[in-house]
Amino acid sequence: MTDTATQPLAQIITARLTAALDPTHLVVTNDSHHHAGHLGDDGTGESHFTVEVVSPAFAGLSRVARQRLVNQALADLLKTRIHALAIRARAPGEG
């Protein structure tokens, strides 16, 4: 990947998911401030995130399969920089 360590992690997540899933809707929320001082807080302010993503790539897939696609796009970040990731993944037209 061509990500740089100087970019905010939310921007990197957005770019990765956009490239991998071509979403029609994507919101990346940094929830780290809710976890300050807790296990997994590395002090960077970029450790806990929520992603809301709507993509045609999810059509016909189970919730677990959708989460796997998101996790694959962010695999190296999940190993090194993201402690917790909440995923809300839907196909277009789903509530």
Which sequence spans correspond to the domains of the chain?
9-90
Across 51-55, average pLDDT: 98
Percent of the chain with pLDDT over 90: 68
Determine which of 12-16, 46-50, 58-62 has the lowest per-residue pLDDT on average: 46-50
**Distance between CA atoms of residues 58 and 91, nearest Å:** 5
At residue 4, the 3 state secondary structure works out as: coil
| Bridging pattern class, strands 84-90 and 25-30 | unpaired
Q: Cα angle at 29 between 23 and 30, to 5 degrees? A: 140
The whole-model pTM stands at 0.84
User: What would the CATH number be for the domain defined by 9-90?
Assistant: 3.30.300.90
